A and B are shown apart, each in its own frame.
Chain A
Amino acid sequence: MKKLILCLFVLTALLFDASTLGAGEYLTYEEITFHGRNQKLLRDFNEFDYNRLYSQLGRRRFFGWRTATNMSNVPVSFKKETLYVIVNEGETPIRQNFTFRQSEQTSRQISSSGSIGLDLSGDIRAFEAGLESSLNFSFETKRSTMIEEAVDIHIQVDPWTRLEVEIYGEGMITNGVGRRYKFFRNTKSGGWEIFTLQSEHYSIVKSEIER
Chain B
Amino acid sequence: MRPAVIGLSVFLVLIAWASLVPRLAPHSTMIRTVPRIHSYLATDEPALFSVDFLISDPDGLPAMEDAYETLWIEGDETFALDLVSLDARGTTVIDKVTMHQFVLRMAPRFHTVPFAVQIDEAALHARLVDGREMVFPMGAFSYRTHTSHEGPLRLEHLHNLYGSFGEGVTSQGMLLGLHNESGETLHIDSVSLGSERVSVHTPLITRNATPFEQGMDISKLVDERNVHTPLLEGNETMQFAIRFDFTTDLNLLYRYPLMIEYSVGEASYAFVLEDFMFINANPYAMENAPLFKEVTIHAPASD
Contact = CB atoms under 8 A, between A and B. Distances in A.
- B is a partner of A: yes
24 contacts: A107-B282, A140-B92, A140-B93, A143-B91, A144-B92, A144-B282, A145-B89, A147-B103, A147-B254, A147-B281, A149-B50, A149-B255, A149-B277, A158-B154, A168-B215, A169-B215, A201-B159, A201-B162, A202-B280, A203-B158, A203-B160, A203-B214, A204-B157, A204-B158
| Interface range on chain B (Cβ under 8 Å from partner) | 35 or more
Interface string B23-67: 000000000000000000001000000101000000000000000
B91 A155 contact: no
Contacts of B215: 77-78, 168-170, 201
Contact of A200 (B93, B212, B273, B279): B279
Residue from the set B255, B278, B280 with the largest chain A CB neighbour count within 10 Å: B280
Given A149-B50, A155-B155, A204-B158, A144 B277 contact: no
- 10 interchain residue pairs of minimum CB distance: A145-B90, A144-B92, A199-B281, A201-B160, A168-B215, A200-B280, A168-B214, A204-B158, A203-B159, A77-B215
Interface of A: 33, 77-79, 102, 104, 107, 140-149, 151-156, 158, 167-170, 198-206
Contacts of A78: 215
Contacts of A141: 93
Contacts of A153: 273-276
Given A147-B52, A201-B279, A104 B89 contact: yes
Nearest to A199: B281
B284 A144 contact: yes
A137 B281 CA distance: 22
A155 B275 CA distance: 10
Contacts of A170: 162, 169, 215
B136 to A, nearest CB: 15
Interface string B232-262: 0000000000000000000000110000000
Given A79-B214, A168-B215, A202-B276, 15 more contacts: A143-B91, A147-B101, A148-B103, A149-B50, A149-B277, A152-B275, A154-B274, A199-B279, A200-B280, A201-B280, A202-B278, A203-B214, A204-B158, A204-B159, A205-B212
B276 A204 contact: yes
Contacts of A155: 155, 273
Contacts, number: 123
Nearest to A100: B277
Interface in B268-294: 273-286
A167 B159 CA distance: 10
A144 B169 contact: no
Interface string B80-117: 00000001011111000010010100000000000000
Nearest to B170: A199
Contacts of A168: 159, 214-215
B148 to A, nearest CB: 9
B89 A151 contact: no
B283 A147 contact: yes
Contacts of B280: 102, 146-147, 149, 167, 199-202
A152 B276 CA distance: 8
Residue from the set A156, A167, A204 with the largest chain B CB neighbour count within 10 Å: A204
Contacts of B212: 205
A89 to B, nearest CB: 17
A34 B162 CA distance: 18
A155 B154 CA distance: 10
B214 A146 contact: no
Contacts of A158: 154
B183 to A, nearest CB: 16
Interface string B142-166: 0000000010001111111010000
Contacts of B93: 140-142, 144
